[in-house]
Amino acid sequence: LSGGVDSSVCVHLMKEQGYDVTGLVLHLSAAHESTVQAAQEAAQAMEIPLIVAREEEWFQREVVIPWAESYRRGQTPNPCILCNPSTKFALLCREAKALGFDTVVTGHYAGIEEREGRYLLKKAKFLPRDQSYMLYRLSQEQLSMLHLPLAGMSKDEVRAIAAQAGLPCACAPDSQEICFIPDNDYPSYIEERFGKMPEGEFVSPEGTVCGTHKGLLHYTVGQRKGLGIALGRPVFIKSMDPQTNRIYLGDAGEEFASGVLLRDCRWIPFEEPAQPMRSGAKIRSMAKEAAAQIIPLPGGAARVLFDTPQRAPAPGQSCVFYDGDYVLGGGYIESQIL
């Protein structure tokens, strides 16, 4: 229970169906004080007990440190994808079991379906709100305990339910920032806690040094603006090398990749695919699906070959596979296939 409209409506819906509901809010950093306060106000208004789980050290170990280290290596990690399996849902399921509850309910926009002993993850019916991309790394145990009441609803429908129920959060704005960095200034956050990144060299498409960058974590693959480079033509970041601390630039039109190599893949309908397969693939949360061939490799890796080249897949981001409405799995982008 965050105190926002989505989780509050979930409480309302579960209570209406006669369930015994207890709220749980995770206090994972100093930035979560306002979330705890909002959850306390919501729990009081809806007359349910609330548990505050304070797990700052866990969050630092499982999310913040790996996320920051990934950025410092010139990658572009998504903190929510790191957090969901290792922290948020791990802690929710742990607390639910300890208290004797059967089910964990959250306000995520996605669906769960059981089929032949496997728990499947589905897209939300209202696709503009779909969050299945963020949940692809959840384990079978986590999916088996999870109920997502908002799977078939739009945000407008959720707000209408909140307003009809008289919930104080009905008109609350959606959160847009990283939950533990209120101002969204992640480079400053990382440098304040892990040390300032050294400057390095920009390398032009011709292979010559053409400028100085502020440190790898200030940039991402595919970036065009804010480079401070004047070559007389548009350029973009083609790749970053943490070994040499160099950023390599490319000319416009060269930013498309024919595929990606993935590491640490997770699969949902099966333990791992027995052979290559066709699927839709998304290289970032808001990207359109691209038709692709998925080729499993040893050690949890995979090669993804797109039918149509995709713009600037960024190492550290996730490539997630879909079969229609169902999430097949995904993995972290290690490198591009040009």
- Answer yes or no: 10 catalytic: no
Annotated catalytic residue, options 83, 93, 265, 319: 83
* 214, 197 contact by CB (below 8 A): yes
Q: Cα torsion for 238, 244, 246, 250, to the nearest 10°?
A: -30
For residue 233, what are the CA distances in angstroms to 100, 162, 206, 230? 63, 51, 13, 8
Length of the chain: 338
**CA separation for the pair 224, 96 (Å, rounded):** 46
DSSP characters over 198-259: PPEEEE-TTS-EEEEES-GGG--TT--TT-----SS-EEEEEEETTTTEEEEEETT--EEEE
- Answer yes or no: 179 catalytic: yes
* 120, 326 contact by CB (below 8 A): yes
**CA separation for the pair 254, 284 (Å, rounded):** 19
**CA separation for the pair 248, 207 (Å, rounded):** 8
Annotated catalytic residue, options 10, 93, 179, 319: 179
**CA separation for the pair 7, 63 (Å, rounded):** 22
Q: Which amino acid is at 225?
A: K
User: How is residue 167 annotated by DSSP?
Assistant: -
User: Active-site positions?
Assistant: 83, 179
